[in-house]
Structure 1
């Protein structure tokens, strides 16, 4: 692409950050919370556990995808001008560095602090005789009966090692006979607790001591191989390619095809092997050779494999002082806390909810009431991820039993929730619901519920639109916004959405909603372009956008052009951000910040100043190619002036966060202020502020319900 009049070539890969490396930067920000000594100790353990869980998924999906591209001979360059091979090389180099840092924090900071607090993690070498008797008896009574040791020889090949399982490999030699060395392996059973607490032997006056299950098994390996000497033993853990490969056009039954692929996921290509540092070289050679991993895919770990066990540690009793207590539970929504019928409340005006600061129960109650209301004729809903025991699923099934017309789109391709969604889909079908299994070639990621109700003045449509999933469990952990409305324009569009999902009907025009993959991307580009034109005309122009990720090249280029024209662009991006700040003549007017706190920042909300007539939107979509081009997504407007004020307050407060915000500098590196250097009165933790305001709003419902007034001369 030739340079524009401004002299900028927006195809230049130097303007962009590689997606995978940007994600690793995000996980680095999560890791920094584990390193931050201003966080309580057990919160730091939790954040370290999250980094390990994140890394597992990154390998199963993103690293696996890079390997697939390399194997397929894929040559196309990414947004930052890197080949798949270059990306994989750089990613693995960064991950090795990252893992070293994980365990440095674990070993030099967290373990000594746990010991100071009276909790010891023992590998078995420091146990008293009484402790040894206890753990060995525990092994004999509870662990030994569950184990299945598997020998490897000419008649018994190396077993299939399941994805993410913890195993122990051993080199064995017969006590009597030849000097041949044999190999065997045993899986650490995930049906048993990994953390074993050893009773205190001095009437409670001693440090609490725990032992990990793999260390207990390793200690008792000789009991599994009675006629052998155990020469060496060590735990190992394998990560596999877990991305489903489905040819939807060829699949006669999508549900059956996905069920088949889920079973294969456990046995995908090995892409990572974790072993303890110092593992016997011969033992490692056998394990790595049979798994087929290369040297740069082997991670030598200075500590326990799989740090996700720390999330179980977080739940240990007796350490409340080492946990964060400044976050309030979800509060009632004032508009619905009056005892009125939920439909009457929505009829009076749009209602905006901010989760998890405000309860998700109203969304559940909306569906539950619709299920039993004699005037409700139909319920239509999209489901992407739901909880294990979803009350919404139960309500939909009940509605069908009550004779309602119930249509549910269950997205079977929701990654790592496929199996759960198949169970719910079958149950809903048996209950009499009309179930749609997504669309060929597209994931349905939008969050929308439509209730059609018969009232005195005719048929009325009630709609819920959200930025997050219909999952009552994650709604307590993820920040999202949801809108209840019965506005006719949105109601008509909602009907059109479901007609499009269930059939082949596509309306000639839309009232309020913008859908991907039809024209949501064009709408975003149009809104950005409009701000650029306002700036060039000397009119107020600003964009504030909050999302999980931004890596769509067209959108980033549009933001660069807007910035060059003088538009102030403030991005609040939790995860991946392929945009660079501070490039002269390109992104000098753009700021990027990422908030990593107690809750996962999940909402997508947008502000466009529009020459002094601000417009607000919320969406299920991030600004990524997959969201804008390969998924069914919805962008919806927030039009009520009081609700605009609430949305602005969310954005404004997150831009002012001084405690949990990481800001990108002109080198593409995120920097977080040291809270010790911030005056107490200047410390703003936006998540705590929102929780406190949700409590206050119960007493003063009008709290933030002011007419929105745009900030004059805003700073970028």
Structure 2
């Protein structure tokens, strides 16, 4: 069937490559930076998000491809029909084009900022008054934090830090200088992370000025290298990205925390996978650096602009200009659930749903704080994947221990790029008497859940949280996620079984309500899809609606293709990777896919099956990716409460109706905005109004 479809439609493969699809997602992020309807400073911050995403992509995904190539493997079977080597070349060219586009957008934003009397100047535009401020600022704050290495005559080239930005300095020495044997000498200046990248200069009338730290250092080069005699000096930015995959030590004598800690430290010495440089750098300087660092053709060489580490634009100063930022909206309360009084008493009566950031995340913290203080609560069990830097969640758990509760925390030490923070919290909680579990060998624990046991009328009653997102009050302000508060004893009992599995993982539990990875999710989802196919054949109501971060598992895609061919209507909201190709006759003509990129990061996983008119609705931590289905512990939780089910169905439809920030994912792969004749709907703004209206009606 697949070969016939390919021949009829000119499709080379029935799947879109995962890495190239991810780059298309990041292009959608860059579209936000280009969107003139978005406040100017927010557009700059999208440049930062785009750049940060790209850094992580090279550290992980590109690094994996490089390992495949170096192992002498092709990788076509799991890369969607393209070899790893070909894919690396295509990625590099795509990124070069995207970087050019980002530089163009950055210039446009800078021009618009000038119209608002905000000027980003470089070292050639410094006035006499600004010079005094800059020189003093350099002496007091920058110089003490800088690391400067004279590399021209070093036998061994220093190891450059992963993703740190450096100024590569070239000096053409004068004849009078006897310090160096050669005419040319080189130095590296590490841009200090402890100093703000954007230095706000004294305001002049209505005009505000900013100089980027890199240019401030360039302005002070003569001060920095005054002990040398040179004819000219130049400085160009470079950055290296290293393989960030963790290689876990197999030493049985070490604790798991020690192994992860060592592996994270070793990451700083990982093989280089990307080298970004200022395209105006002299050819001789570039060759000198590449030779010294051992950068070869399997690494991605990206000619860029004058500034790297543009991820720092995520923290671009607000300049006291709220008119250039999103209008802040206060999260609303959940109707019927007050932060005053007992949450547990309310949850005992009915289930409640939190949809952050439209509704306040304070309910989750209140839930744990109440559990920590309530004398009736005997145990608290929770999974932790990512915590805030200053975590009220962690402090509540420690407080519970001090109040005599038995607290069990499953903490995922391998949460990518949060390993150090999680290790620190793990050690802190361990010192305070929290019972720590470090998961299951070979599996990451990615589910987000908490269950407490409370003694009521001499019997144990359980209360639980199940979430699509992390128990992290910082990200809850910008990530959209659902959290279910429930005292449904059947669900709570099965959540408790998941914690039993962590403790005794050779026993595989059975579940009648939850869908749990890695043992059941793939088969359960396949069965749910097949049921929709059978219902359609019988003339019963059928349909599939999914909201996901990523859709890349080929077997699940094949199931959706099969449902489409059978006539089942499928609507997908996929934020990031989408390897499924929708709208192809004979393969996927009944599948529509949109992606929403906006003010908030769309993060929930949501499954809706029409089920002959009696919809089955699940919230989940699992995407349709191989790792979520087969290599992680995940929970998909059914929604039984009719009001909450109705709410989820309505909020899905709000997302689906978006014709402002939704992009259509099609076989053209062009990230076209969805446009139609319907009234304008910007779903994230309409979602807030939806919850505001619920409060007013209640």
TM-score past 0.5 threshold: yes
Which of residues 265, 289, 310 in structure 2 aligns to 1:307? 310
Partner in structure 1 of residue 85 of structure 2: 85
Partner in structure 2 of residue 316 of structure 1: 318
**CA–CA distance in structure 2, aligned partners of residues 508 and 145 of structure 1:** 58
Retained in 2: the 8 A contact 1:232–1:280? no
Q: Residues 380 and 100 of structure 1: is their aligned pair in 2 closer, same or farther, counting only changes over 3 Å? A: same
Partner in structure 2 of residue 714 of structure 1: none
Shift of 1:590: 0.1
SS at match of 1:523: helix
SS at match of 1:238: strand
SS at match of 2:336: helix
**CA–CA distance in structure 2, aligned partners of residues 671 and 510 of structure 1:** 42
User: Which is worse superposed, 165-174 or 545-554?
Assistant: 165-174
Partner in structure 2 of residue 669 of structure 1: 670
Instruction: Number of aligned residue pairs: give it.
Output: 689
Q: Deviations over 1:170-227 (max 9, x none)?
A: 2232542355322221211111111112213xxx325211111111212222323312
Q: Deviations over 1:385-444 (max 9, x none)?
A: 010111111111111121111111010010011111111111111111110112211100
Q: Residues 28 and 6 of structure 1: is their aligned pair in 2 closer, same or farther, counting only changes over 3 Å? A: closer
Partner in structure 2 of residue 342 of structure 1: 343
Matched, 1:189 2:202: no
**CA–CA distance in structure 2, aligned partners of residues 496 and 312 of structure 1:** 42
Shift of 1:228: 3.1
**CA–CA distance in structure 2, aligned partners of residues 35 and 301 of structure 1:** 19
Partner in structure 1 of residue 219 of structure 2: 219
Q: Deviations over 1:90-142 (max 9, x none)?
A: 111111111111111112x1111111111111112122222223212322232
SS at match of 1:462: strand
**CA–CA distance in structure 2, aligned partners of residues 490 and 165 of structure 1:** 47
Partner in structure 1 of residue 684 of structure 2: 687
Partner in structure 1 of residue 433 of structure 2: 432
Which of residues 684, 687, 693 in structure 2 aligns to 1:696? 693
Within 5 A, what are the aligned runs for 1:241-252? 241-246=243-248, 252=254
Retained in 1: the 8 A contact 2:339–2:363? no
Partner in structure 2 of residue 418 of structure 1: 419
Q: Residues 153 and 142 of structure 1: is their aligned pair in 2 closer, same or farther, counting only changes over 3 Å? A: same
**CA–CA distance in structure 2, aligned partners of residues 647 and 227 of structure 1:** 68
Q: Deviations over 1:565-603 (max 9, x none)?
A: 010000000000000011111100000000001000000
SS at match of 1:490: helix
Within 5 A, what are the aligned runs for 1:251-270? 252-270=254-272
Q: Residues 507 and 66 of structure 1: is their aligned pair in 2 closer, same or farther, counting only changes over 3 Å? A: closer
Partner in structure 2 of residue 161 of structure 1: 160
**CA–CA distance in structure 2, aligned partners of residues 13 and 636 of structure 1:** 38
SS at match of 1:644: helix
Retained in 2: the 8 A contact 1:149–1:224? no
Q: Deviations over 1:358-394 (max 9, x none)?
A: 1111111111111111111110000000101111111
Q: Residues 125 and 504 of structure 1: is their aligned pair in 2 closer, same or farther, counting only changes over 3 Å? A: closer
SS at match of 2:656: helix
User: Which is worse superposed, 122-131 or 392-401?
Assistant: 122-131
Retained in 1: the 8 A contact 2:237–2:277? yes
Shift of 1:33: 1.0
Shift of 1:613: 1.6
Which of residues 264, 274, 277 in structure 2 aligns to 1:275? 277
Within 5 A, what are the aligned runs for 1:529-678? 529-673=530-674
Partner in structure 2 of residue 34 of structure 1: 33
Which of residues 288, 295, 300 in structure 2 aligns to 1:297? 300
Shift of 1:247: 5.1
**CA–CA distance in structure 1, aligned partners of residues 437 and 57 of structure 2:** 29
Shift of 1:301: 2.0
Retained in 1: the 8 A contact 2:249–2:263? no
Partner in structure 2 of residue 485 of structure 1: 486
**CA–CA distance in structure 1, aligned partners of residues 131 and 292 of structure 2:** 35
Q: Deviations over 1:146-168 (max 9, x none)?
A: 32321125555221110111111
Retained in 2: the 8 A contact 1:618–1:636? yes
Retained in 2: the 8 A contact 1:248–1:441? no
Retained in 2: the 8 A contact 1:496–1:507? no
Q: Residues 195 and 69 of structure 1: is their aligned pair in 2 closer, same or farther, counting only changes over 3 Å? A: same
**CA–CA distance in structure 2, aligned partners of residues 4 and 618 of structure 1:** 36
SS at match of 1:450: strand
Shift of 1:662: 0.5
**CA–CA distance in structure 2, aligned partners of residues 585 and 43 of structure 1:** 42
Within 5 A, what are the aligned runs for 1:101-500? 101-107=101-107, 109-155=108-154, 157-172=156-171, 173=173, 175-177=176-178, 180-200=183-203, 204-225=204-225, 226-229=227-230, 230-246=232-248, 252-294=254-296, 297-313=300-316, 315-325=317-327, 328-337=329-338, 339-456=340-457, 458-500=459-501
Shift of 1:251: 7.4
SS at match of 1:96: helix
**CA–CA distance in structure 2, aligned partners of residues 43 and 207 of structure 1:** 20
Shift of 1:267: 2.0
User: Which is worse superposed, 409-418 or 144-153?
Assistant: 144-153
**CA–CA distance in structure 2, aligned partners of residues 492 and 357 of structure 1:** 30
Retained in 1: the 8 A contact 2:5–2:585? no
**CA–CA distance in structure 1, aligned partners of residues 506 and 485 of structure 2:** 25
Shift of 1:338: 7.1
Q: Deviations over 1:649-676 (max 9, x none)?
A: 11111110111100122323321046xx
Shift of 1:239: 1.3
SS at match of 1:564: helix
Q: Deviations over 1:58-85 (max 9, x none)?
A: 1111111111111112233225211211
SS at match of 2:147: coil
Q: Which runs of 4+ in 1 moved over 3 A?
A: 2-9, 153-156, 247-252, 504-508
Shift of 1:604: 0.5
Per the normalisation by structure 1, the TM-score is 0.92
Retained in 2: the 8 A contact 1:248–1:440? no
Shift of 1:265: 1.4
Shift of 1:350: 1.0
RMSD: 2.2
Within 5 A, what are the aligned runs for 1:520-531? 520-531=521-532
Retained in 1: the 8 A contact 2:29–2:597? yes
Matched, 1:65 2:64: yes
Retained in 2: the 8 A contact 1:251–1:257? no
**CA–CA distance in structure 2, aligned partners of residues 439 and 119 of structure 1:** 53
**CA–CA distance in structure 1, aligned partners of residues 377 and 201 of structure 2:** 57
Partner in structure 2 of residue 704 of structure 1: none
